[in-house]
Amino acid sequence: MVGYQIVHRNLYRMRISIPRLAEDAEYADKLQRLLETLELVSNFRINLKAKSLAVEFSYEATVTALATMENKVLAAIQQAHHLDIEDALLCPTAVKSPEIDYWERLGPSAISLGLSFGALIGLPFPGFLMTGAVLFAAVPVFQRAMAGIQTDKQLNIDFLDALAVSLHAYNNNFFAPSFMLGLIEGGEVIRDLTARGSERASLDLLDCLGKYARVERDGKEVEILVKEIVEGDRVIVYPGDQIPIDGYIVRGTGLIDQCKLTGESVPVTRRSGEEVFASTLLVDGQLCILTERTGSNTRAGIIVTLMQSAPVHDTRVENYAAMIANQAVVPTLLTGIGVGLASGDLSRAIALLTLDLGTGIRVSVPTTILSALTYAARNGVFIRSGRAIEILAKIDTVVFDKTGTLTQGHAGVTGIKVTESQVAPAEILALAATAEQGLTHPV
């Protein structure tokens, strides 16, 4: 365990004394690399001779985010003791989604659009090449249309798009379907990118808990990987450590910061027999905890699972738009056939097929909802689904169960009122600041 003492702290700055900095340069290097991964840390200084770490946080951060970052700084002090340099560089601050293959998603439509534009300005591209490029770029649309027929037993918007692309290619009109495919696939990629951003912002409750934990085995304290902890293990937690499991205290008393899990800014005292939870931080004391739940079964893990499975696209406006759009497929198809037969002009029939009522909403609504979820998560608010955001429009009263949800948890001067007119408020503030110098008490 690495010993430390918080010497000074205010809302956007904290200074910590860490004796180990003066005697272990490798530890200081690992700590520096860990601190560099924290997003809201705007600046930090490690002074080896003074055995001191000074951290400054971004002024744009919310109070909840600041409290979370303080916990991560204290956790990094302990984690640097265990991690290799490579591990420090790779310590995750978010759950990473699989990377989007931009070439696979956008490459075919981009090539098709480029060839179509070239043909439009007179370049002599052969017709079979143009047709092949357009149809190849439309493969994802064909797949979604076939899935709608096989799974939902109905003709959907993608069926109209696939039919319009095929008829355009048959009519040797290549630019319009290429441009349409670019818009459709580009919209899908934008939606996926926003979804990945939402995951990065919201799924950090179990991040950087540390790779190792101390447990009692056969009467001895041993260090094991966190993932190797099993139900019934007795986990030993020291000040500055994040609790890696849910369980009950069997020995010790500790001051625990639960802000990351509950939003409560004031640490709570927990004693023998009381329950504690993963992702919370032990500020003071030493605990021996009997493991009840680990990993995704902990309370923090359940929250992460819920956020991962959140039905983002389950919104009333999107469902309504999709329903109306799908109901309009057959009438649009019949109208297009009628216009084509009456006019004898295939281009007019195709023009009606491209009247897609659902694609715009299908892309814009999820993107908007995901952006809202991302912004809320960055400010410490986890919203279950897109439908919940829509319901917020009908809310006229919000009930909070505790004051800690609303207060900042940091004392500060909000105003100065004088009783003697000959004494200026600035003078009183200067006297108070002089008296406060050298004191570490938060008030």
- CATH code at position 83: 3.30.70.100
DSSP state, residue 227: G
pTM of the full structure: 0.45
**Does residue 275 fall inside a structural domain?**
yes
Q: Which token pair is 22?
A: 């003066």
Same-domain check for residues 194 and 53:
no
Residue 92 pLDDT grade (very low, low, confident, very high; cuts 50, 70, 90): very low
Q: Order of strands, edge to edge, in the sheet holding 254-257?
A: 268-270, 254-257, 281-285
Domain assignment of residue 244, given as a range: 212-297
- 146 close to 155: Cβ distance less than 8 angstroms: no
Q: Residue 398's Cα: distance from chain center in Å?
A: 25
**Does residue 422 fall inside a structural domain?**
no
Please give the pLDDT value at position 369: 73
pLDDT in tens, 404-431: 666 665 667 788 888 888 888 888 888 8
Q: Which amino acid is at 410?
A: H
Same-domain check for residues 217 and 89:
no
Q: Is the per-residue pLDDT at 235 higher than 90?
A: yes
Same-domain check for residues 229 and 293:
yes
Q: What is the mean pLDDT of residues 121-142?
A: 87
Same-domain check for residues 180 and 131:
yes
Please give the pLDDT value at position 252: 93
Same-domain check for residues 315 and 178:
yes
pLDDT in tens, 276-304: 998 888 988 999 999 999 887 888 877 76
E strand or H helix at 222, and its extent?
A: strand 220-225
Please give the pLDDT value at position 263: 67
Tracing tokens 């205010």 back to the chain, one arrives at 10
Same-domain check for residues 269 and 321:
no
Same-domain check for residues 279 and 362:
no
**Does residue 290 fall inside a structural domain?**
yes
Q: What is the mean pLDDT of residues 76-93?
A: 57
Please give the pLDDT value at position 310: 54
Q: Which of 76-90, 120-134, 428-442 is predicted most confidently?
A: 120-134
Contacts of residue 272, defined as CB under 8 A and 6 or more positions apart, other chains included, come to 249, 250, 251, 252, 253
Compare 243 and 371 and report the one with higher pLDDT.
Answer: 243
Looking at 338, 356, 371, the residue that finishes a domain is 371
Residue 366 pLDDT grade (very low, low, confident, very high; cuts 50, 70, 90): low
**Does residue 421 fall inside a structural domain?**
no
From 175-184, 189-198, 219-228, 378-387, the region with the lowest mean pLDDT: 189-198
Same-domain check for residues 191 and 315:
yes
Residue 128 pLDDT grade (very low, low, confident, very high; cuts 50, 70, 90): confident
Same-domain check for residues 82 and 138:
no
Same-domain check for residues 186 and 266:
no
Please give the pLDDT value at position 320: 62
Please give the pLDDT value at position 361: 62
- Residue 232 backbone class (left: φ over 0; alpha: ψ -120 to 50; beta: rest): left
Same-domain check for residues 69 and 145:
no
Please state, rounded to an integer, the average pLDDT across all residues of the chain: 77
How crowded is residue 404: how many other Cβ atoms within 10 Å of its Cβ? 17
Q: Is the per-residue pLDDT at 400 higher than 80?
A: no
Q: Is the per-residue pLDDT at 25 higher than 70?
A: yes
- Tell me how many domains the chain contains: 3
> What is the percentage of the chain residues whose pLDDT exceeds 90?
8
Compare 128 and 81 and report the one with higher pLDDT.
Answer: 128
Q: Is the per-residue pLDDT at 87 higher than 60?
A: no
